[in-house]
Amino acid sequence: MTTTHSLGQAARQILIQNDKGCYTIPTKGLYPYQWNWDSAIAALGFAEFDITRAWIELETLFSGQWSDGMVPHILFHQPDPGYFPGPDVWGCDGPIPSSGIIQPPIAASMARRVWEKDTGAGATHLTALYPKMLAWHRWIMQWRLDRGAVCTTHPWETGRDNAPDWDKTMARMDASDVGEYTRRDTTHVNSDDRPTNFDYDRYIKLVQLGRNLHWDQAALREQSPFRVADPTMTFTTLGAARDLLAMGTELGFDTTGLTEDIKTLEAGAATLWNTDLGAFDSRDVLSGEWAGCVSSASYLCWLGGIDSDQMMDRLRNTLETVPYPVPSNDPDSDTFDARRYWRGPTWAVVNMLIGLGLEQQGHHAEATELARKTGALISEHGFAEYFDPLSGSPAGGKSFTWTAAVWLAWAGRT
């Protein structure tokens, strides 16, 4: 029998194996660079046994920050031909070769949690990081709002690459001129568990567009066919704004504007409520159309500090009826696919973000239940990238950094 203790050892071992010295790769082969939100989660995992290393993770992430405040979704520290698209395709010129898009801005919320665990030099680390985190927040507020909700400009930004949320928007896009390229992801893992070629053509097409426009946000806002206000970006930005306000106040920083930002984002979150669906949903800014999707991101409302009785009813039902909750797509939806990446599988990392939000809002029973079920999933099926929500079987990359971090910081503690 695998004990909680030995699982804890195994989780630490995964973080140590994936540690490249000052940043952590999500998993060997499939993801050989530093990914933005993966890294923030890795920091939380490291904080359980090596607090200095936790800070280094976040500091390395912000060493890739662009002069305008943007923090890229991938930092290409060392060339690796096993991944596509690499730095040459993105054509960016930040301080470290990088992609030109962001990811859910959870770094500030994770930094606050690392700080809470640090009885030593935490305030010094956080004081140096704070202005950088605030600058990224301001960049998002400047470039990504629609009626107060935060927009994604590429499916990869949300982390939920092939979620059905983007289907209608992607279907409208023409990628016939994308040209020849070779996918690398499907050489590492089963192609049935990954996004389709139809989606991939559009991912690359959007990268080409950004590159051609030199990642100029004003031009992209005018010209990109992909602009979707979404629960992932909105709730994580809102949670980060609240955490920035709390940390800034405690550290004595000027927090002017953050209270106003929180109000703006709260109003934006309200624009994501799809009354017909009875859930927080994604909304295509260009067409005005709802995606019509209850995704695991819909349940991030609590992380954003927004309570909802209807979302709570759904969550309780999901916890009771889905063998391994929370599925990334509603099992009753026509688009549900138990294995294909963000079209059904359960992701331990999203569960933790939902759970941390529930805890913050005082929903202790549900937070504990979700942590317990996530812990059981990991202990039965390992530290996989994601899991079939019906059978629990593991999928995608193995020995995954954030699943190990989730065990250490949250699921393994129940």
Q: Which residues participate in catalysis according to the annotation?
A: 161, 385
By rule CB under 6 A, what string of x and - marks binding of each residue 19-58 to ligand DGY?
A: ----------------------------------------
Closer Cβ to ligand DGY, 73 or 343, answer by number: 73
Asked whether the beta carbons of 150 and 229 are under 8 A apart, the reply is yes
Number of residues that bind ligand DGY (CB under 6 A): 4
Q: 256 to 315, contacts with ligand DGY by CB under 6 A?
A: none
**Binding flag, residue 161, ligand DGY (CB under 6 A):** yes
Separation CA 68–CA 135 (nearest Å): 8
Our finding on whether 385 is near ligand DGY (CB under 6 A) is no
Contact flag: residue 165 with ligand DGY (CB under 6 A): no
CB 146 within 8 A of CB 227: yes
Going by the DSSP 8-state scheme, the letter that residue 327 receives in this structure is B
Q: Which is nearer to ligand DGY, 236 or 361 (CB)?
A: 236
User: Is residue 165 within 8 Å of 230, Cβ to Cβ?
Assistant: yes
Residues 69-88 that bind ligand DGY (CB under 6 A): 73
* Residue 156 interacts with ligand DGY (CB under 6 A): yes or no: yes
Would the CA dihedral through 101, 208, 339, 290 be positive or negative? positive
In angstroms, give the least distance from the CB of 157 to ligand DGY: 9
185 or 284: whose CB is closer to ligand DGY? 185
Nearest distance in Å: CB 299, ligand DGY: 21
Residue 349 CB, shortest distance to ligand DGY, in Å, is 13
Kindly state the smallest distance separating residue 199's Cβ from ligand DGY, in Å: 10
Pairing mode of beta strands 149-152, 228-229? antiparallel
Taking the C-alpha atoms of residue 70 and residue 222, their distance in angstroms, rounded to an integer, is: 19
Q: Where are the beta strands (DSSP E) in 100-166?
A: 145-146, 149-152
- Least distance from ligand DGY to the Cβ atom of residue 369, Å: 29
Spatial CB neighbours of 60, under 8 Å, sequence gap ≥ 6: 22, 23, 34, 39, 75
193 sits near ligand DGY (criterion: CB under 6 A)? no
Residues 346 and 288 sit within 8 Å (Cβ to Cβ): no
For ligand DGY, the closer CB: 161 or 369: 161
> What is the separation, in whole angstroms, between the first and last Cα of the chain?
18
Q: Which is nearer to ligand DGY, 27 or 274 (CB)?
A: 27
Question: Min. distance of Cβ 275 from ligand DGY in angstroms?
Answer: 32
Query: Who contacts 107 (Cβ-Cβ below 8 Å, separation ≥6)?
Result: 36, 37, 39, 40, 58, 61, 62, 71, 133, 136, 240
Binding mask 96-135 for ligand DGY (x = CB under 6 A): ----------------------------------------
201 binds ligand DGY (CB under 6 A): no
Q: Which is nearer to ligand DGY, 185 or 330 (CB)?
A: 185
Residue nearest ligand DGY by beta-carbon distance: 156
Nearest to 406 by CA among 391, 385, 390: 385
CB of 73 to ligand DGY, least distance (A): 6
Contact 338, 344 (CB under 8 A): yes
185 binds ligand DGY (CB under 6 A): yes
Supply the minimum distance, in Å, between the C-beta of residue 25 and ligand DGY.
12
72 or 357: CB nearest ligand DGY: 72
8-state DSSP, 144: S
Three-state secondary structure call for residue 203? helix
Tokens 């010129």 locate to: 93
Return d(Cα 83, Cα 367) in angstroms, integer: 36
Residue positions counted in the chain:
414
User: Which residues are near ligand DGY by CB under 6 A?
Assistant: 73, 156, 161, 185
